């Protein structure tokens, strides 16, 4: 029996929130008005939530969010993202070369740490043009930074995340100052920072956008790649469908094992969701993973079928907060997975069962140890 069979919208006394598991109901909240993403409005957020940088677009409501998104969105157009494909492909191939070297040296390979995390980090470092030093700072701070996005982050988690955001900001501040000082010629470059500096965003808002790119863009893409690889090694008959249509395959992998479990919203006024009355000030938790397996939307929803036609899920959200980096994440996942299985068609898991990490917000593995063939 699925969660939707019980009730697509229900009050959960344990969490003190309304829980939404139905696709249509969750989509209505994400696409509707009168909902807040600001932790300051959430009855479940600890007082320390006020320390979260106010320039993070993910936690802003209109009209602030509308202005920020309008200024940042041109950097994420379909054309600009597709133009990155050769660079992403080169990053993936370089990471695969490193996997080959590990195998040749007899080292064990953790596909999450040695590939899933490295691909999006290298892509972000290239986008921001921060070199090896920047990549090292980002790789060190991102595991702490991502705690900003945990729906049930406690005081210690938030303090640690804010400290990580400060470290990233301290590294990026002189980078921004240098590129801003270059004048108009320097702010029309090909890197992401230069494109943001060419807008009407303040320096704090540019920094906040870069922090968000790290916190959200890196974690979700790494998990999408690793979760997808795990699923395909569990269902090797589907690999041919991945190569035949990578874009469609990624959509199915995103629906089944997307990187986000849960999205939170707070009702700014009285709302009705799926026939259930939600009073103003109430917290609503949208279970993205359950909504992606709603049998009313997808027949036989638990079946892995990379040829499946049908609507997209809610893995990247919907509505005004639809993930700006969704196209980039999809591109990275498609390039990473197709190239990985082309080079290592005999890849196998070392563990018989996946080890999912404890998180209320993210659907990610603790590790993904694999056996890879040696290339002579």
Name the 3-class secondary structure at 265. Answer: strand
Residue 310 reports pLDDT greater than 80: no
3 membership: H or E segment, kind and range: helix 3-6
Q: Which domains does the chain have, with CATH numbers?
A: 3-133+217-371 (1.10.630.10)
Residue 64 reports pLDDT greater than 50: yes
Q: pLDDT tens digits, residue range 320-373?
A: 999 989 999 999 999 999 999 999 998 999 988 888 988 888 999 999 999 998
Compute the average pLDDT of residues 27-44.
92
Task: Please tell me the predicted confidence (pLDDT) of residue 191.
Answer: 81
365 membership: H or E segment, kind and range: strand 365-367
Q: Is the pTM of this model over 0.85?
A: yes
Task: Name the H helices within 111-187.
Answer: 111, 118-128, 131-145, 155-181
Burial environment of residue 8 by CB neighbours within 10 A (0 to 12, 13 to 18, 19 or more) = buried
Chain Cα centroid distance, residue 70: 20
Q: In angstroms, what is the C-alpha Rg of the chain?
A: 21
Task: Name the more confident of 268 and 312.
Answer: 268
C-alpha distance across the termini of the chain, in Å: 49
Q: Can you name the residues that pair with 283 across neighbouring β-strands?
A: 266
286 membership: H or E segment, kind and range: strand 283-287
Task: Please tell me the predicted confidence (pLDDT) of residue 370.
Answer: 96
Residue 188 reports pLDDT greater than 60: no
CB atoms within 10 A of CB 215: 24
Task: Name the H helices within the chain.
Answer: 3-6, 23-31, 64-72, 78-82, 85-104, 111, 118-128, 131-145, 155-181, 192-197, 203-212, 219-234, 239-244, 246-257, 288-291, 326-343
Evaluate whether 331 touches 84 at the Cβ level (below 8 Å).
Answer: yes
Task: Name the more confident of 177 and 277.
Answer: 277
Mean pLDDT in the chain? 89
Distance CA 263, CA 30 (A): 9
Task: Please tell me the predicted confidence (pLDDT) of residue 190.
Answer: 67
């Amino acid at each position: 029996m699925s969660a939707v069979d019980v009730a697509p919208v229900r009050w959960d006394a344990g969490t003190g929130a309304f829980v939404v598991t139905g696709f249509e109901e969750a989509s209505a909240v994400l696409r509707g008005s009168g909902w807040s993403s600001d932790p300051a409005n959430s009855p479940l957020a600890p007082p320390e939530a006020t320390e979260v940088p106010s320039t993070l677009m993910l936690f802003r409501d209109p009209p602030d969010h509308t202005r920020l998104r309008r200024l940042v969105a041109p950097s994420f157009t379909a054309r600009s993202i597709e133009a990155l494909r050769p660079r992403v492909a080169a990053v993936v191939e370089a990471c695969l070369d490193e996997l080959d070297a590990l195998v040749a040296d007899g080292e064990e390979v953790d596909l999450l740490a040695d590939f899933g995390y490295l691909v999006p980090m290298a892509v972000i470092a290239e986008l921001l043009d921060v070199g090896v030093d920047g990549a090292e700072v980002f790789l060190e701070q991102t595991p702490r930074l991502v705690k900003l996005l945990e729906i049930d982050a406690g005081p210690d988690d938030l303090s640690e995340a804010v400290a990580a955001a400060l470290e990233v900001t301290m590294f990026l501040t002189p980078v921004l100052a240098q590129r801003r000082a270059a004048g108009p010629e320097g702010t029309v470059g090909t890197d992401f920072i230069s494109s943001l500096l060419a807008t009407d965003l303040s320096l704090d808002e540019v920094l906040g956008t870069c922090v968000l790119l790290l916190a959200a863009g890196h974690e979700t893409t790494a998990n999408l790649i690793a979760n997808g690889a795990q699923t395909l090694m569990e269902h090797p008959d589907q690999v041919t469908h991945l190569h035949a249509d990578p874009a469609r395959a990624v959509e199915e992998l995103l629906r089944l094992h997307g990187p986000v479990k849960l999205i939170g919203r707070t009702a700014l006024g009285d709302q009705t969701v799926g026939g259930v009355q939600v009073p103003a000030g109430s917290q609503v938790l949208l279970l993205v993973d359950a909504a992606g397996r709603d049998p009313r939307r997808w027949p036989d929803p638990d079946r892995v079928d990379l040829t499946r036609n049908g609507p997209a899920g809610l893995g990247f959200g919907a509505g005004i907060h639809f993930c700006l980096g969704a196209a980039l994440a999809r591109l990275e996942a498609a390039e990473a997975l197709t190239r990985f299985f082309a080079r290592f068609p005999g890849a196998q898991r070392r563990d018989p069962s996946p080890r999912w990490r404890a998180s209320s917000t993210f659907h990610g593995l603790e590790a993904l140890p694999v056996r890879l063939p040696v290339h002579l």
